[in-house]
Amino acid sequence: MSGDTRKQQKVYTAREVATLLAIQNTTVRKYSQLLEKAGYHIHKNELGHRGFFDKDVMILRKIRELIKHPDMSLDQAINAVISTVGEDD
């Protein structure tokens, strides 16, 4: 049963996520690519378009918050967020 939870969740487009976080669509793409490179899985449909679940939006929001700190680079923020994500996420 727990495998069906994603089917019940809202899936956001990159454009919707950009609007929610008040960032550019290209920034969503950049953060997503860096997360994927670090091993984080972001859902893609059969056309290769990313779909973002609530947990993905929260992770992107956390990255945005972390990079506001003057001593935090984008790579460091990505690594910090990835280290808090469980294997099942």
If one counts the domains in the chain, the total is: 1
Residue at 57 is within a domain: yes
Range of the domain at 66: 9-84
CATH at 50: 1.10.1660.10
Query: In 39-56, which positions are buried (b, 16+ CB within 10 angstroms) versus exposed (e)?
Result: ebebeeeeeeebbbbeeb
Structure confidence by residue, pLDDT tens digits, 53-67? 999 999 999 999 999
61: which residues sit within 8 A by CB, 6+ positions away?
Answer: 21
pTM for this model (two decimals)? 0.83
Portion of the chain with pLDDT greater than 70, in percent: 88
